């Protein structure tokens, strides 16, 4: 039995909540009375409530995010019907703003708006002592990081064996990109580096080899970035894998000299370009030197072994389809390993909302609050872009179509892939649950129908792509004479993170 339960719904089992572990680490004398319980979003709310109540808690702290708020609302509603005496405390980015508009906030007893590392334990002490605060919404500032206990000891052996291990060397962001909640931060706050590296060393000694840094701006302070990279180079082995989010236009020579020392499969950089349009960048308060960003990505791609995951956002205020297409083509020319085509979301509290009236921005009224239309992109066009993004993940990002992708994109990548996307949807009527054989068949037919690519050429490249990732050598839909003989499955050569997700 536990007086306090910390819980949330993760998107997948292999995710582990860093936020809950921060709370657990900072419970102080309440730690023995506190238990962490994580679930995933495909669980039934009633089953989760039953498990929570089996502990007979007095307080339940629930982490609420854009991906779990709908199910979390059901869970809180059930809890309040069955056990209204249990104090439910909400925290997380989804409930830190606009509480008056959210049913879940009305149902709960308290909402911590802002960092809860120290505020949640303090609230628990009051509640357990019978001194219930009068204010329902408790607004909290960013605590001094030196005052926090680090959470990494609370990753279990099971977490280390089966889940992503999230870490952070800093919090916050000095940039003001209005689509992001980090735009509300005044600066970035670093953790004391020796203490942080000691914690990383402890994780490494426990067997952690995959470290996913959640810092918004890993390469903001080059001295810190360099020390962290050198730390891992000293512990380099064939299993080590590091994920960082980089500012695209800030890659000085000192950092370059370290990055080139990492072998294939050990580094992944997430690089948010979002838009190459200077007017759009200025409109959303995004500072970015596009030429420098372009040079840095090209250098990373051709002079290092790092895997590059890049991001673009469609639907930004004032950006039309031609502008987005130009940015996509510019990024394709840089040959990153992945281009994530994201659709703008209006996160609660994010400053992007200030453009809603001027640019006729319309968003879905339920999570994930995706843009539906603007003065530059109507609903029908954004639907097409949504399908483009899904098919691009299946074809452009999956690694399964390495050779055939070059034929598909030609010299006008966006226009050609949009044509293929429209054709695929017209033929299949779906963007999900496409069996691999069916997807290859559709791509084969699309290549021939849209661009008169000779069937033999299309068959040859698709067959090689298919077998490269362990597919059967004979694709039943191809002409008999173009089928290739059975060959051993080729070894995947992409980074381990990419290979793990090829089947997703």
Q: CATH number for the domain including 315?
A: 3.80.30.20
Peptide bond into 368 cis (omega under 30): yes
Q: Give the per-residue pLDDT at 496.
A: 38
Q: Which of 300, 321, 354 delimits the end of a domain?
A: 354
Res. 495: pLDDT tops 70: no
Is 365 within the bounds of a domain?
Answer: no
Outline where 40-191 has alpha helix (H).
Answer: 45-53, 69-82, 103-107, 119-128, 157-162
Same domain assignment for residues 389 and 450: yes
Give 452's pLDDT tier (boundaries 50, 70, 90): confident
Is 234 within the bounds of a domain?
Answer: yes
Q: What does the alpha-carbon distance between residue 61 and residue 39 come to, in Å, rounded to a whole number?
A: 13
Same domain assignment for residues 171 and 232: yes
Helices and strands, number each (H, E), in the chain: 18, 16
> Region 216-245: what's the mean pLDDT?
96
Q: Give the per-residue pLDDT at 401.
A: 94
Interior CA angle at 77 toward 72 and 79, to 5°?
95
Same domain assignment for residues 390 and 338: no
Q: Give the per-residue pLDDT at 162.
A: 94
Is 410 within the bounds of a domain?
Answer: yes
Same domain assignment for residues 382 and 298: no
Res. 479: pLDDT tops 80: no
Q: Give the per-residue pLDDT at 185.
A: 85
Per-residue pLDDT reduced to its tens digit, 144-186: 999 999 999 999 999 999 999 999 999 999 889 999 999 888 7
Res. 473: pLDDT tops 60: no
Q: Give the per-residue pLDDT at 183.
A: 87
Per-residue pLDDT reduced to its tens digit, 259-279: 999 999 999 999 999 999 999
> Region 344-373: what's the mean pLDDT?
97
Per-residue pLDDT reduced to its tens digit, 190-215: 999 999 999 999 999 999 999 999 99
Per-residue pLDDT reduced to its tens digit, 403-443: 999 999 999 999 999 999 999 999 999 999 899 989 999 99
Higher pLDDT, 472 or 212: 212
Using left for φ > 0, alpha for ψ between -120 and 50, and beta otherwise, residue 97 falls in beta
φ, ψ dihedrals at 53, nearest 5°: -70, -20
Q: Give the per-residue pLDDT at 469.
A: 73
Is 332 within the bounds of a domain?
Answer: yes
Same domain assignment for residues 455 and 497: yes
Same domain assignment for residues 177 and 68: no
Range of the domain at 403: 378-504
Give 472's pLDDT tier (boundaries 50, 70, 90): low
Give 94's pLDDT tier (boundaries 50, 70, 90): very high
Q: What does the alpha-carbon distance between residue 69 and residue 80 come to, in Å, rounded to a whole number?
A: 16
CA neighbor of 342 nearest in space, from 495, 218, 180: 180
> Region 6-26: what's the mean pLDDT?
96
Q: Which of 145, 177, 195 delimits the end of a domain?
A: 145
CA distances from 154 to 14, 52, 67, 150, 202 (A): 16, 20, 24, 9, 12
Q: Give the per-residue pLDDT at 499.
A: 36
Chain-wide mean pLDDT for the chain?
92
Q: Give the per-residue pLDDT at 484.
A: 44
Is 435 within the bounds of a domain?
Answer: yes
Res. 500: pLDDT tops 90: no
Higher pLDDT, 497 or 426: 426
Q: Give the per-residue pLDDT at 325.
A: 98
- Report which DSSP code applies to 141: P
Q: CATH number for the domain including 112?
A: 3.40.50.280
Res. 400: pLDDT tops 60: yes
Same domain assignment for residues 472 and 403: yes
Per-residue pLDDT reduced to its tens digit, 312-342: 999 999 999 999 999 999 999 999 999 999 9
Q: Are 221 and 187 in contact (CB under 8 A)?
A: no
Number of structural domains in the chain: 3
DSSP string, 106-120: HHSSEEEES--TTHH
Cβ-based neighbours of 69, under 8 Å, separated by 6 or more: 94, 95, 102, 104, 367
Res. 481: pLDDT tops 70: no
Q: What does the alpha-carbon distance between residue 207 and residue 135 come to, in Å, rounded to a whole number?
A: 44
Is 158 within the bounds of a domain?
Answer: no
Share of the chain above pLDDT 90, in %: 87
Same domain assignment for residues 119 and 221: no
């Amino acid at each position: 039995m536990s007086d306090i339960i910390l819980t949330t719904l993760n998107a997948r089992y292999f995710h582990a909540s860093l936020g809950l572990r921060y709370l657990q680490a900072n419970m102080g004398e309440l730690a023995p009375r506190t238990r962490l319980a994580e679930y995933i979003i495909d669980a039934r709310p009633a089953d989760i409530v039953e498990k929570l109540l089996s502990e007979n808690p007095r307080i339940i702290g629930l982490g609420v995010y854009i991906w779990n708020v709908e199910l979390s609302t059901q869970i809180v509603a059930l809890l309040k019907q069955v056990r209204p005496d249990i104090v439910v405390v909400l925290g997380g980015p989804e409930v830190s703003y606009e509480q008056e508009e959210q049913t879940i906030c009305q149902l709960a007893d308290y909402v911590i708006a802002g960092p809860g590392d120290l505020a949640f334990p303090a609230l628990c002490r009051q509640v357990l002592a019978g001194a219930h605060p009068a204010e329902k919404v408790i607004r909290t500032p960013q605590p001094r990081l030196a005052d926090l206990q680090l959470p990494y000891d609370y990753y279990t052996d099971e977490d280390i064996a089966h889940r992503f291990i999230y870490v952070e060397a800093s919090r916050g962001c000095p940039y003001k990109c209005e689509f992001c909640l980090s735009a509300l931060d005044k600066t970035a706050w670093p953790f004391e580096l020796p203490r942080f590296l000691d914690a990383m060393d402890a994780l490494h000694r426990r067997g952690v080899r995959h470290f996913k840094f959640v810092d918004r701006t890993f390469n903001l302070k080059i001295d810190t970035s360099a020390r962290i990279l050198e730390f891992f180079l000293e512990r380099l082995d064939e299993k080590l894998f590091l994920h960082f989010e980089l500012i695209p236009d800030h890659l000085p020579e000192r950092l370059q000299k370290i990055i080139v020392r990492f072998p294939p499969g050990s580094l992944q950089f997430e690089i948010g370009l979002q838009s190459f349009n200077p007017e759009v960048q200025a409109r959303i308060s995004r500072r970015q030197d596009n030429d420098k960003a372009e040079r840095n990505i090209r250098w990373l791609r051709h002079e290092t072994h790092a895997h590059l995951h890049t991001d673009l956002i469609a639907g930004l205020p004032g950006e039309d389809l031609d502008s987005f297409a130009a940015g996509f083509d510019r990024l394709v020319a840089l040959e990153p390993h992945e281009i994530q085509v994201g659709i703008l979301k209006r996160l609660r509290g994010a400053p992007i909302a200030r453009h809603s009236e001027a640019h006729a921005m319309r968003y879905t009224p339920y999570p994930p609050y995706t843009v539906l239309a603007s003065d530059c992109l109507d609903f029908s066009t954004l639907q097409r872009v949504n399908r483009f993004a899904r098919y691009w993940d299946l074809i452009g990002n999956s690694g399964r179509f390495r050779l055939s992708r070059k034929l598909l994109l030609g010299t006008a990548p966006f226009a050609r892939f949009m044509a293929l996307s429209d054709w695929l949807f017209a033929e299949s009527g779906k963007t999900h649950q496409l069996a691999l054989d069916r997807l290859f068949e559709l791509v084969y037919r699309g290549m021939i129908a849209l661009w008169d690519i000779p069937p033999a050429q299309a068959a040859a490249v698709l067959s090689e792509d298919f077998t490269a990732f362990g597919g059967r050598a004979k694709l039943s839909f191809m002409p008999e004479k173009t089928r290739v003989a059975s060959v051993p499955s080729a070894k995947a050569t992409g980074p381990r993170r990419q290979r793990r997700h090829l089947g997703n």
